[in-house]
Chains A and B, each alone.
Chain A
């Protein structure tokens, strides 16, 4: 297998790596860099558990090859320093088994980075690529609403 040299910034840290051509981004993150907060669900881009932010956009890291991340900035759940989103998820009870949570938090961050005043429909759209079997989504939607409100400078309601 040919190796490819890539420069990638992950969670603010620069890496210069040699990766196999067929290595998926999720495997680079989990197996090589031990950033195991990113979860693999279906492995075919349907469930969103492996969501990461790549140059500001959310991607399914199971569908991205590691070398495609060359010259990119990646944010994984380990790189989320946003206490407002984290606390809102906890306070609203938006976490149950937790397997979808890293992807949900990243989808929420990606939304709120672009739109601090999303309506209900925009929030549901933003997380519609992330499947959750426990929560029924409503408390995740409430958590994102709450985080948006706090970020706008409002109170928690």
Chain B
């Protein structure tokens, strides 16, 4: 006989190392001679999209297109430490370091623009499409390339230190900052003869803060869901006297494309 059931689970999940552990990301930003901006950051791309979001964050902060950002990453001779690609921390923590580096560089660029434009303050100066202009007077402008040519080297650093507080002796407190809130609902069909479980449909709702790249966020939801299906229904380490007895894909079964349903995904971006 086949029976159906529904389940819902709600979680909150801390970003970063948490619990008082030092959590620091660094990034450099540098204006290149051709007017592009180089971002150096140790954030490792493991498929989560670090390379994409760091470029997006830099471009938006500087008012440039993503084609005007040159990303140097995963090169320990050129990049400052951005911590590990773990704990869901790169987009938030290192992304903030990139944002701060770009804001610092932006101030230096505007200081130079003030001189070249012959205006008396950087208040009201605006960067758009590689040009800096007085907001209400776009025809009076100077390009980032001209600024680069007129200066030895403009560069800035960004350091972001995440708020992490150690819990008290009773395990109470607020060890992480920030948190992601999520809920997941599934409907399954169970074959009561064989025990086989089929997932008929699933819905995921995540409060992610601001989704820098919604496609990548959805990809993380899909991947996380598939891993969860594996843990719940299939996977078992199979230890015997400390050794794994099923150390191959023949015996250690993980989900395939046939085991995963389409997932309805909702991103809540607040604030």
Decide if A97 touches B46 in the complex (CB within 8 Å).
yes
Cβ contacts A21-55/B at 8 Å (1 or 0 each): 00000000000000000000110101100000000
Interface of A is mostly: loop
Within 8 A of A (CB), among B244-268: 248-250, 254-258, 260, 262-263
5 contacts between A and B (CB under 8 A): A93-B215, A96-B49, A133-B227, A137-B260, A138-B263
Bound complex: CA A132 to CA B47 (Å): 12
Interface size in chain A (residues, C-beta < 8 A): 30
Q: A137-B226, A138-B222 are in contact. Are A128 and B256 (CB under 8 A)?
A: yes
Interface size in chain B (residues, C-beta < 8 A): 26
Bound complex: CA A32 to CA B185 (Å): 50
Task: Find chain B residues with CB under 8 A from A138 CB.
Answer: 222, 260, 262-263
Decide if A93 touches B218 in the complex (CB within 8 Å).
yes
Task: Find chain A residues with CB under 8 A from B249 CB.
Answer: 41-42, 44, 46-47, 131
Cβ contacts B220-257/A at 8 Å (1 or 0 each): 01111111000000000000000000001110001111
Decide if A135 touches B258 in the complex (CB within 8 Å).
no
Cβ contacts A46-85/B at 8 Å (1 or 0 each): 1100000000000000000000000000000000000000
Q: A47's closest neighbor in chain B, by CB? A: B249
Decide if A128 touches B224 in the complex (CB within 8 Å).
no
Task: Find chain B residues with CB under 8 A from A139 CB.
Answer: 215, 218-219, 222
Q: A46-B249, A96-B48 are in contact. Are A135 and B218 (CB under 8 A)?
A: no
Within 8 A of A (CB), among B125-144: none
